[in-house]
Amino acid sequence: MSIWTKVLYAVVSVSVATVYGLTLGGIVRKLYARVHGRFGPPVWQPFLDIIQTYSRRVAVSHGNMFFLGPVLRLAGGLGTYLFIPVIFGSALFSNFSMAGDLLLVMYFVFFGQLGMALGAGQGGHPYSPLGIARGLAQMSAFEVPFSLAVIAVAIQYNSLNITSIVAAQQGGFMHWTLFTNPLAVIAAMISILGMNMHAPFSIVMAPQEIPIGPPIEMNGSFLSILQTNRGLFAAAKLVLFMNLFFGGATNIIEMIVKTFFIYMFSVFVGAAYPRFRPEQSFRFFLKWPAFIGVLSIIYITYLGGAS
Amino acid sequence: MVSPIYILILSLAAGFLLSIIDRGGRKISLAVFYGVLAFNTALIIDWTYRFVFLHAPTLVINTAGFSAPVSINLELGMIQAFVLVFTNLTGLLAAVFLFRKFMESKVSSLILYLLLVMSVNGLVMTRDLFNMFVFLEILSISTYALTTITRTKTSLSAGFKYMMAGSVASIFFLMGVVFVYHFTGNLNLDFIHADQFAGTGLVALFMLTMAVFIELKPFPANGWALDVYQSVDSGIVSVIAVINSAAIGFVFYRLIPLMPQSFLTVFGAAGVITFFFSNMMGLKQKNAKRLLGYSSIGHMGLLMASIVFTIGAPSTVRYLIIGGFFVNHLVAKAGLFWLSGIVRQENIRGWAVLKNNRLLLVLFGVFIFALSGFPPFAGFWAKWEFVKVLIESRMFFVLGAVLTGSLFELIFLFRWLTITVKEDETQLEKITTPDSGSVFATSVFALLATVVAAGVMKYFYNFGWVQTLPAAAALIVYLLDFLPSKLKGFVSLGAVAAYGYYIYPLLESNLQLFFGVIFIVGSAINIISTLNRKNQNRGFYGFLLMMIFSFGNLLIASTYLEFFLSWEFMTISSFLLILRGQKAQRASLLYMIFSTAGAYLLMTGFSFAPALTSTSALMLSIEFVKLPLISVIVLAIGFMIKAGSVGVHIWLPEAHAEAEADVSSFISAILLKAGVLGLLMVAISCIAHAPSFPVFYWIGWIGVITALVGAFMASFQEDAKRLLAYSSMSQVGYVVAALAMITHLGWVSALYLAFNHMMFKSALFIAIAGVYYRTHTRKMYEMGGLISRMPWSYMTVLISIIAVSGVPPLSGFGAKWLIYTAFITKGWYLQAGVLFFASAVSFLYLYRLIHAIFLGQLKSEHQEIKEAPAWFIIPQYIFLAGIMVLSMFPNLMIRPLNSIAMHYFNSSISIEGLTVVSDLGYWNGNFVMHITMAIFAVPFVVLLLLRGKTQRVKQFNIVYAAERPESPETTHVAYNMYAHYRKALGGWASPRIENFWNGVAEWSHTLGDFFRRVYTGNGQTYILHIIMYIVAIYVVMGVK
């Protein structure tokens, strides 16, 4: 396959993921509104928001790094997504997964976060670094159960290659990691609560304390880029979780169904729980979820897992 | 060929005549006085020359026309000549030192002094016990009298205590002589044998030897001696501490053949105890001369122990050990006592006045280094061989006590040195121009120490010039120190290049070459940043070259000793470089203490190791050596101290932070790699010879915990350099952990990260050096928004932190990929989990570094600040170029590392084009780079097209809590940035390890202080101590 075909496929793949991710975002807003006792905006509100911010006459910038921040953020989202094979066996949705394995994806996640943090930092608004400090700290905490879960998966399938991990889960849902290595999935699913930053882990953009946190100075087209990324990045994370723990997907419908439920898990938790204070959040991840992660490794190493 | 008996005759004659000659004027009597001393010295030097080079036989002189035992006979052999050369030389130079005193005092001082020197010569040469007693009495009486040359109340009282103690010893000696005669019917050592003292006869021997031993001031029966050291004039004290001790020590040595094993063991143990406790008590001591007193007593104890415990060793080694301790102690102690006479400051803090006199400061440094047993001085070789002998004869308690005692001594000596160099001297009274005599005497001894050192290296060990190069480089640059700094910088750069050219063909393997690139090329690029230094910048480049050359020498060292020598040169030079930092007193001391503790462990570890069978570099030949378990453990700990592993890391942040800005990069980027190199060597040996206990499994855990603790500590720092220091600790923790796996992929990743770390940490430290140069602060919250003023430095920090963090596409990701793959393949899953955690935490400190300094709000005082000077920018961008090339083509590094590791293991990765494939996954760094560039370019171009809409606003154009802030101080978030995390960690965030070491320090000081209380200052108590001590030894020896 020529590189240009791949690029074309990637464009398609990215578009689908972005649209899907943004729609999910709209559903979430609707859902939260209902929980709060409001009707809420229409499902396509995120698209309207992007058009709105994009069409602003001016975009106020605080400097070159501020300018680059959203760009890096989106690049991070794109990269994360593009290094994951989305649909098992599909050339169209295999993306650039031949560039590297699971470790590459895990570290590319940081690319956008770091870039955004740098851009927001130059904004000069105190809430940006406050939000970033919270975000980085929380990230380091939820990485613990997540990385332990990933290690358990790597042990289980003796691979860090996402495609082979998905391949190993084919042949019925009982082959999913969810059932063969449930402890790892529990640890990972708790950590995705932190990743998705819904309550009780919504400390980074906590509106009542540090209004919307890091992107506080972002506006106009900068904000539109960030909003686009929000959809894409959410989709990327969900696909990764689906691949690692829920048997992957062999077609787009399966992908949408599975990722929808993975996402809804954090949305439901978020709708039901109040927000932690930062230190409560960090401590939370470093205790039980981390312990469950360790157990999952012990389970898979010494007890050989269920299989 | 003049008979040495003329020493006695002439000294006596001059002594009697001086009171008459003095009537003709003091100048004439002084001429005679110095003439006699010079004659004695020359005569003994002549004899030594005959013994050493002409192989003259031992000379026996029979007096009174009869041969022994009817008359007294004297003996002068190689050993006696050796002792006498040093004692007479010290006698002469001490007299030169005392010149002014001798001008002013009564003629009796001159006479007493001559008698003292005469008695020492007699004591060393005589073979007759009674004659020995006579000389001992003359020595004692003349010394008592001389202690009062300065008539202060304390010196008189000290002299009196000395006399009382001496009398007790004399009585015992005389009784011993009587009993010896009773049992053997003879008093000549040539005619007395050990077997004549069986049973009750041991009492005779006990009294005799005990008397001599008491004169050697064993702990705790030595309070009198300390008072003497403290209060008597420096010149005379040097004589007591050196000449008297040497002579009496020699008498003891002479009596050894008579002693049964039970005596020897007890005396040896008493010597070790004395050494240990004196040095421990020295810890609390602030009075310079009393401090030297503790050290002198300690060294005599060490000398006794070395005499006793080396009996089984080959004679050349034995002479090196005893002679080494002897000369080292004698030269350094005399020199330091003389300096104390020149400085005239009681408290060690007062010695800061030395800073005004460069020569004296250098002399002081030489003596301190010599006394602490650093190369190239004699004490170093003696200690090395002594440790070997102790280990061969399995005397581990002695070994422990000697090394711990040495460490105590090092602590107080270096506290003294660092205070002298760093303490503010402006409040102190300046040194009154010292008379040339005293400076001359002191300088001669420093020179002597150096000459002896050179002699040992050349003639005993046959070292080549490369091994001495580090020390020689420091010396040569010292002589060229008048040149401007920049010129010296370029010369140093050239010297490093030439050195690299020289050792390149000597590197037999790619592994050596790899470390050669880190050590030599890395250093050379780092030197560029030092070219920014102004003026003469004295002393800097000498130490720098010394350090760089010793790095290189580590690679080509082919024996344990060569390696250890270079290691110690490296410690000395890096210590001196750190010491140059403005507030580096505590930091450099801490570094020295930990480095030396590490060095002692290395010395022990190497001594346990079996002999090498190959002549190639130690790094390679160690592969074929089976290190015993104990050796693996102590060597590993020793090297991990240098690598800053958790638990023994507390020197690291201090040293990095307090060293000068451009020195820190050397320490972090290069010096720490020496620890890695050492650990790698131990690991190489363990591949084929796995130790019976899984040492490296635990080292792996220590490594990952170091990585985590370092990352957390870095996140909680306010000081940019401390942050980077902890970051280095963390990163080297990864390297250590990866090395400890002892697998192919583990080593590839360890070396990959080591190289990467060298590049990004150099760049970061130099960038921060540039920022410090402009802002004069290291506190990050005092900066902010510097991106607009220092964009080049910002770029460096940006690229470097991405490389540290491991975010693709930069080279750091390669390290992460390799390490995690290696850990999971090895089966170290939980360790990998901890590393993931550490890696995530590293984002905290990296962001803090770049945000607090470069982003956020610019401070008013930094509005006009300039970019860092080009000398800082150039090396940064060389390193950045390296990082970028490595990021684009990671296989440039992975391929050679793969082949290096394949020398030891089967390869676990395959390289297919630009993709690296492991058992678990794959990674194509080049492709990742291209994709990243593409996905960055697309939104970037889109945004650029919209540029027309972009509007730049000024600082403070933000709305914060409904107001527009104006003061950067209230708006810049930097101080205590991760307070919430600290809170979350609770008790885990408290510095337990530092508290632990502080506790250790406090306990040892308190213990030292406690034992010090036996010295009440009361003469009667001291006598009681002596009597009780004699009784105790009597009981312990089991004499019946």
Largest alpha-carbon pair distance within chain A? 62
Cα gap B287→B295, rounded to integer Å: 12
Specify burial of residue B906 (Cβ count, 10 A radius: 0-12, 13-18, 19+): exposed
Write the pLDDT tens digit of every residue in B582-641.
899 999 999 999 999 999 999 999 999 998 888 889 999 999 999 999 999 999 999 999
Which of B715, B816, B829 should be substituted to probe chain A, the one whose Cβ sees the most A Cβ atoms within 10 Å? B829
User: Nearest CB to B950: which of A61, A96, A134?
Assistant: A61
Cα gap B727→B720, rounded to integer Å: 10
CB contact under 8 A, B923 and A101: yes
Q: Which two tokens stand for residue B432?
A: 């009154």
E runs forming strands in B490-640: none
Name which of B271, B630, B960 is nearest A130 in CA terms.
Answer: B960
Which of B793, B908, B943 should be substituted to probe chain A, the one whose Cβ sees the most A Cβ atoms within 10 Å? B943
Tokens 């990765």 correspond to B909
The 3-state secondary structure of B550-585, one letter per residue:
HHHHHHHCCCHHHHHHHHHHHHHHHHHHHHCCCCCH
CB contact under 8 A, B949 and A133: no
Specify burial of residue B429 (Cβ count, 10 A radius: 0-12, 13-18, 19+): exposed
Q: Specify the DSSP class assigned to residue B188.
A: B
> What number of residues does chain B have?
1040
Q: Which two tokens stand for residue B332?
A: 């350094």
Give the contacts of B117 (CB within 8 A, at least 6 positions apart): B11, B37, B40, B87, B88, B91, B243
Name chain B contacts of A110, Cβ cutoff 8 Å.
Answer: 805-807, 843
Which of B853, B936, B956 should be substituted to probe chain A, the one whose Cβ sees the most A Cβ atoms within 10 Å? B936
- Orientation angle between helical segments B223-231 and B288-309, nearest 10 degrees: 130
- Rg over alpha carbons for chain B, rounded to the nearest Å, is 32
Residue A265 belongs to some domain of the structure = yes
- Coil, helix or strand at residue B976: coil
Mean pLDDT of B67-85: 86
CB within 8 Å of chain A, chain B residues 376-435: none
Residue A66 belongs to some domain of the structure = yes
Preceding peptide of B653 cis, ω within 30°: no
Looking at the complex, does the CB of residue B66 fall below 8 Å from at least one CB of chain A? no
Q: Which two tokens stand for residue B252?
A: 């003891």
Name which of B313, B417, B224 is nearest B1018 in CA terms.
Answer: B224
To the nearest whole Å, the CA of B805 is away from the closest chain A CA by 9
Cα gap A70→B938, rounded to integer Å: 12
- pTM value is 0.94
Q: Which amino acid makes up residue A136?
A: L
User: Nearest CB to B955: which of A103, A114, A124?
Assistant: A124
Confidence of residue A304 (pLDDT cuts 50, 70, 90): low
Write the pLDDT tens digit of every residue in B640-693.
999 999 999 999 999 999 999 999 999 999 999 999 999 999 999 999 888 889
Burial pattern B253-282, b for ≥16 Cβ within 10 A else e, equals bbbbebbeeebbebbbbbbbbbbbbbbbbb
Q: Which two tokens stand for residue A236?
A: 């990327």
Residue A307 belongs to some domain of the structure = no
Distance between alpha carbon B351 and the CA centroid of its chain, in Å?
20
What backbone phi and psi angles, to 5 degrees, belong to A198? -85, 165
The DSSP H or E segment spanning B61 is strand B59-62
Give the contacts of B902 (CB within 8 A, at least 6 positions apart): B744
CB contact under 8 A, A161 and B955: no
Name chain B contacts of A136, Cβ cutoff 8 Å.
Answer: 843-844, 847
Name which of B297, B276, B220, B293 is nearest B1014 in CA terms.
Answer: B220
To the nearest whole Å, the CA of A189 is away from the closest chain B CA by 17
> What number of residues does chain A have?
307
User: Nearest CB to B951: which of A60, A118, A160?
Assistant: A60
3-state helix, strand and coil shares in percent for chain A, rounded to the nearest 5: 70, 0, 25
Q: A265 is in which domain, residue-wise?
A: 3-302
To the nearest whole Å, the CA of B886 is away from the closest chain A CA by 17
Q: How high is the mean pLDDT of chain B?
A: 91
CB contact under 8 A, A154 and B824: yes
Looking at the complex, does the CB of residue B836 fall below 8 Å from at least one CB of chain A? yes
User: Nearest CB to B939: which of A74, A103, A301?
Assistant: A74
Confidence of residue B458 (pLDDT cuts 50, 70, 90): confident
Specify burial of residue B960 (Cβ count, 10 A radius: 0-12, 13-18, 19+): middle
CB within 8 Å of chain A, chain B residues 908-967: 915, 919-924, 927-928, 931-932, 935-936, 938-940, 943, 946, 949-953, 955-958, 960
Looking at the complex, does the CB of residue B837 fall below 8 Å from at least one CB of chain A? yes
What backbone phi and psi angles, to 5 degrees, belong to B61? -115, 120
Preceding peptide of B968 cis, ω within 30°: no
Looking at the complex, does the CB of residue B825 fall below 8 Å from at least one CB of chain A? no
To the nearest whole Å, the CA of A109 is away from the closest chain B CA by 8
Mean pLDDT of A233-246: 95
Tokens 């104006």 correspond to B966
Name which of B248, B417, B424 is nearest B330 in CA terms.
Answer: B248
Cα gap B261→B654, rounded to integer Å: 49
Give the contacts of A245 (CB within 8 A, at least 6 positions apart): A149, A153, A176, A177, A178, A184, A185, A188, A189
Cα gap B62→B580, rounded to integer Å: 59
User: Nearest CB to A140: which of B802, B840, B924?
Assistant: B840
Q: Which two tokens stand for residue A37?
A: 């006792």
The DSSP string of A26-89 is HHHHHHHHHHHT-----TTHHHHHHHHHHT-S-EEE--HHHHHHHHHHHHHHHHHHHTS--STT
Looking at the complex, does the CB of residue B824 fall below 8 Å from at least one CB of chain A? yes
Q: Which amino acid makes up residue B306?
A: S
To the nearest whole Å, the CA of A39 is away from the closest chain B CA by 30
What backbone phi and psi angles, to 5 degrees, belong to B128? -105, 130
CB contact under 8 A, A137 and B928: no
User: So what's the pLDDT on residue B523?
Assistant: 96
Specify burial of residue B40 (Cβ count, 10 A radius: 0-12, 13-18, 19+): buried
Q: How high is the mean pLDDT of chain A?
A: 92
Tell me the sheet residues that pair with A100. Answer: B923
Lowest mean pLDDT among B53-57, B59-63, B232-236: B59-63
User: Nearest CB to A225: which of B785, B939, B950?
Assistant: B939
Write the pLDDT tens digit of every residue in B765-783.
999 999 999 999 999 999 9
Q: Which residue of B has its CA nearest to A151?
A: B829
User: Nearest CB to A279: which of B847, B958, B983?
Assistant: B983
The DSSP string of B135-184 is HHHHHHHHHHHHHTTS--HHHHHHHHHHHHHHHHHHHHHHHHHHHHHHHH
- Coil, helix or strand at residue B347: strand
Q: Which two tokens stand for residue B333?
A: 């102690």
What backbone phi and psi angles, to 5 degrees, belong to B287? -80, 125
Write the pLDDT tens digit of every residue in B898-949.
999 999 999 989 998 889 999 999 999 999 999 999 999 998 998 888 777 7
User: So what's the pLDDT on residue A306?
Assistant: 44
To the nearest whole Å, the CA of A35 is away from the closest chain B CA by 30
> How many A-B residue pairs are in contact by the CB < 8 A criterion?
243
Q: Specify the DSSP class assigned to residue B772.
A: H
Q: Pairing mode, if any, of strands B922-923 and B915-917?
A: antiparallel
Which of B817, B820, B849, B959 should be substituted to probe chain A, the one whose Cβ sees the most A Cβ atoms within 10 Å? B820
B844, A140 Cβ separation under 8 angstroms = yes
CB contact under 8 A, A62 and B843: no
The DSSP H or E segment spanning B950 is strand B950-952
To the nearest whole Å, the CA of A81 is away from the closest chain B CA by 11
User: So what's the pLDDT on residue B875?
Assistant: 96
How many Cβ atoms sit within 10 Å of the Cβ of residue B729?
A: 27
Tell me the sheet residues that pair with B76. Answer: B59
Q: Which two tokens stand for residue B857?
A: 């709000």
Name chain B contacts of A122, Cβ cutoff 8 Å.
Answer: 787, 855-856
Q: Specify the DSSP class assigned to residue B390.
A: H
Mean pLDDT of B445-449: 90
To the nearest whole Å, the CA of B907 is away from the closest chain A CA by 18
User: So what's the pLDDT on residue A307?
Assistant: 45
Give the contacts of B864 (CB within 8 A, at least 6 positions apart): none
CB contact under 8 A, B923 and A124: no
Looking at the complex, does the CB of residue B813 fall below 8 Å from at least one CB of chain A? yes
Task: With a cut of 50, say whether residue A107 has pLDDT above it.
Answer: yes
3-state helix, strand and coil shares in percent for chain B, rounded to the nearest 5: 75, 5, 20
Establish how many alpha carbons lie within 13 A of residue A69's alpha carbon, considering only the half-sphere containing its beta carbon: 29
B875, B762 Cβ separation under 8 angstroms = yes
To the nearest whole Å, the CA of B549 is away from the closest chain A CA by 39
To the nearest whole Å, the CA of A250 is away from the closest chain B CA by 22
A134, A278 Cβ separation under 8 angstroms = yes
User: So what's the pLDDT on residue B1040?
Assistant: 67
Name chain B contacts of A277, Cβ cutoff 8 Å.
Answer: 980
Domain count, chain A: 1
CB contact under 8 A, B833 and A70: no
What backbone phi and psi angles, to 5 degrees, belong to B951? -125, 120
Name chain A contacts of B978, Cβ cutoff 8 Å.
Answer: 133, 137
Name chain A contacts of B949, Cβ cutoff 8 Å.
Answer: 56-59, 220-221
What backbone phi and psi angles, to 5 degrees, belong to B910? -125, 145
Residue A173 belongs to some domain of the structure = yes
Tell me the sheet residues that pair with B128. Answer: B188
Mean pLDDT of A221-238: 93
Name chain A contacts of B940, Cβ cutoff 8 Å.
Answer: 68, 71
Q: Which amino acid makes up residue B964?
A: R
User: So what's the pLDDT on residue B414?
Assistant: 95
User: So what's the pLDDT on residue B25?
Assistant: 87
Looking at the complex, does the CB of residue B1006 fall below 8 Å from at least one CB of chain A? no
Tell me the sheet residues that pair with B952. Answer: A61
Lowest mean pLDDT among A61-70, B302-311, B341-350, B866-875: B341-350
Q: Which two tokens stand for residue B1039?
A: 């004499």
Confidence of residue A114 (pLDDT cuts 50, 70, 90): very high
CB contact under 8 A, B830 and A225: no
User: Nearest CB to A161: which of B844, B921, B972?
Assistant: B921
Terminal Cα-to-Cα distance of chain A (whole angstroms): 37
Cα gap A226→A25, rounded to integer Å: 13
E runs forming strands in B845-949: 910-912, 915-917, 922-923
CB contact under 8 A, B949 and A79: no
Cα gap B1019→B49, rounded to integer Å: 45
